[in-house]
């Protein structure tokens, strides 16, 4: 086993790389679980050992890039570039491309227990459930997973933010299938979400405004023996198509939320922590009060139905320390809970708002933004 290289034995590499190459490196390093500096180190080593000329990389449109590589390797690499009459940034671009080609997106076999299911829930509105559902789904798609985003909120913000219209009220919908009013194939309602890094891996089941009637319909329907299983039964046919199904939950504590919690439970034979719930919150007292109500609902459902629901953790959203003591003190209280723990703190930044305004996925509109990187971090926690 090779001993890790101490930070003081590394030199800072500063250059310019094509934007797409730099972005691809960032995503692939996260996907395969390698630090960027180690990926670049491996790429440079492979470049120096290559026994044939490498294809040139178009570096005409490049952005700043920096990382750290072992000092001795860095000096040798610079000398090799000089001896080959090759610009330094071209050599580094070739080295990174060599590493990427030797570390393709991994094949993702479908889980034997079906798609992994993640609910994003909090009974308080405005805490960022929709943005987080969309962003994490995009990050998972970047990592090579096939993902279906389910807009389970009658307000349909997820549908609208991604540039789609609500399903027509008189047509088929998730709610009608849940309530036994239709026997539609939900796969026919699913639409692709475009993005250069998603390929054909990211999809959306749009909302319909009939969702406002869901709780009342579940209460009165004679077709549903156990009210909490309706969502699972409706989504069962699509699960074989995807690796992950992410549910953007409504801001309520009714039967809709019961269904989402039940859907995200750990199924028999499923490894613990494969599916579960992510709880978006804000650094404010009302968000903490809302969580206590949600916690009571989760615990009661687990006790009543004898199920287990894994908590992936809190994501503190729209954080802005400039708002003073209440915000910083509230964050400390979230971090003190420990179980579940805070898995990310996402700032109140402009990129998400601009992406929503443009009706584009965040990771397509601002793939190099801080918010995009935090979405990737949450995705990585879910897949760990």
For 179-202, the pLDDT digits (tens) are: 888 888 899 999 999 988 888 999
How far CA 376 is from CA of 26, 137, 172, in Å, comes to 10, 9, 33
Give me the pLDDT at residue 2, please: 43
Residues 362 and 138 sit within 8 Å (Cβ to Cβ): yes
Tens of pLDDT along the chain (384 residues)? Answer: 344 545 558 899 889 999 889 988 988 888 888 899 999 999 999 999 998 889 999 988 888 899 999 999 999 999 999 999 999 999 999 999 999 999 988 766 666 667 999 999 988 777 889 999 999 999 999 999 999 999 999 899 999 999 999 999 889 999 999 988 888 889 999 999 998 888 899 999 999 988 787 877 777 665 555 678 999 999 999 998 999 999 999 888 888 999 999 999 999 989 999 999 999 998 777 777 888 899 999 999 999 999 999 999 999 987 776 666 767 888 888 888 888 999 999 888 899 999 999 999 999 999 989 999 999 999 999 997
C-alpha distances in Å from residue 23, one per residue of 31, 63, 142, 201, 372: 12, 11, 11, 18, 11
pLDDT tens per residue, range 280-338 = 998 777 777 888 899 999 999 999 999 999 999 999 987 776 666 767 888 888 888 88
3-state secondary structure the chain: CCCCCCHHHEEEEEEEEEHHHHHHHHHHHHHHCCCHHHHHHHHHHHHHHCCCCCCCCCCCCEEEEEEEEEHHHHHHHHHHHHHCCCCHHHHHHHHHHHHHHHCCCCCCCCCCCCCEEEEECCCCCCCCHHHHHHHHHHHHHHCCCCEEEEECCCCCHHHHHCCCCCCCCCCCCHHHHHCCCCCCCHHHCCEECCCCCCCCCEEEECCCHHHHHHHHHHHHCCCCCCHHHHHHHHHHHHHHHCCEEEEECCCCCCHHHHHHHHHCCCCCCCCCCCCEEEEEECCCHHHHHHHHHHHHHHHHHHHHHCCCCCEEEEEEEEECHHHCHHHHHHHHHHHHHCCCCEEEEEECCHHHHHHHHHCCCHHHHCCCCHHHHHHHHHHHHHHC
Q: How far apart are the first and last CA of the chain?
A: 23
Q: What is the CA radius of gyration of the chain?
A: 23
pLDDT of residue 1: 37
Distance CA 96, CA 285 (A): 47
């Amino acid at each position: 086993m090779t001993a890790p290289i101490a930070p003081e034995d590394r030199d800072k590499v500063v250059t310019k790389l094509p934007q797409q190459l730099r972005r691809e490196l960032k995503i692939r390093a996260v996907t395969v679980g390698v630090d960027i500096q180690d990926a670049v180190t491996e790429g440079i080593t492979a470049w120096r050992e290559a026994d044939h000329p490498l294809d040139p990389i178009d570096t005409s449109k490049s952005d700043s890039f920096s990382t750290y590589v072992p000092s001795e390797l860095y000096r040798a690499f610079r000398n090799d570039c000089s001896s080959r009459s090759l610009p330094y940034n071209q050599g580094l671009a070739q080295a990174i491309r060599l590493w990427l080609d030797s570390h393709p997106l991994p094949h993702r076999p479908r889980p034997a227990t079906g798609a992994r299911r993640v609910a994003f829930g909090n009974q308080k509105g405005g805490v960022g459930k929709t943005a987080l559902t969309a962003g994490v789904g995009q990050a998972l798609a970047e990592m090579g997973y096939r993902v279906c985003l389910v807009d389970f909120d009658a307000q349909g913000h997820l549908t609208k933010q991604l540039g789609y219209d609500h399903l027509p009220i008189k047509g088929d919908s998730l709610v009608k299938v849940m309530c036994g009013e239709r026997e539609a194939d939900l796969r026919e309602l699913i639409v692709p979400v475009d993005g250069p890094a998603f390929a054909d891996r990211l999809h959306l089941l749009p909302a319909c405004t009939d969702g406002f009637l869901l709780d009342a319909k579940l209460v009165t329907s004679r077709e549903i023996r156990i009210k909490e299983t309706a969502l699972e039964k409706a989504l069962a046919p699509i699960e074989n198509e995807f690796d992950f199904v992410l549910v953007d939950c409504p801001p309520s504590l009714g039967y809709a939320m019961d269904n989402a919690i039940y859907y995200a439970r750990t199924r028999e034979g499923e490894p613990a922590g494969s599916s579960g719930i992510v709880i978006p919150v804000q650094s404010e007292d009302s968000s903490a009060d809302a969580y206590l109500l949600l916690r009571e609902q989760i615990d009661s459902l687990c006790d009543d139905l004898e199920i287990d629901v894994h908590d992936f953790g809190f994501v503190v959203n729209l954080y802005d320390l400039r708002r003073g003591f209440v915000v910083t003190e509230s964050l400390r209280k979230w971090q003190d809970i420990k179980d579940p723990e805070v898995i990310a703190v996402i700032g109140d930044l402009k990129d998400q708002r601009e992406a929503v305004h443009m009706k584009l996925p965040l990771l397509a509109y601002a793939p190099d933004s801080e918010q995009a990187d935090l979405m990737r971090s949450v995705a990585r926690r879910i897949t760990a």
